[in-house]
Amino acid sequence: DIDDARRAADRLQASERRRSIALTAGRMAAWEYDVVSGENSWDERLPNLIRWPASAAADWLRTIDPRDKARVEQEFADAIAGKSAYASEFRIV
């Protein structure tokens, strides 16, 4: 039904607005890396937040704070080995 599709699209758009507001308020950015394709995607806040070009996200492991690096690398390796989703929080330099 067209009305159902329109309502679903409106809900998705409202959800994206709330997500954007939350990320901006928290001085955060969203970034995704597809381990199969090797593709990166990120939102427009990332380059300003981390103060390096968004293209550098492809080499994201080198930006991890040394205090978090071993843990993050292990989590990432475990996710790839298990072909599972990867989600982590870490500091960057």
pLDDT, residue 69, reads 93
Torsion of CA 60, 79, 17, 40, to 10 degrees: 40
pLDDT, residue 58, reads 61
pLDDT, residue 61, reads 77
pLDDT, residue 21, reads 93
- HEC letters along the chain: CHHHHHHHHHHHHHHHHHHHHHHHHCCCCCEEECCCCCCEEECCCHHHHHCCCHHHHHHHHHHECHHHHHHHHHHHHHHHHHCCCCCCCCCEC
Judge if pTM exceeds 0.85.
Answer: no
pLDDT tens digits for range 7-41: 999 999 999 999 989 988 988 888 777 777 878 78
pLDDT, residue 78, reads 86
Structure token pair of residue 26: 């928290």
Percentage of the chain exceeding pLDDT 90: 28
pLDDT tens digits for range 44-87: 887 777 776 666 656 777 788 999 999 998 888 888 888 677 77
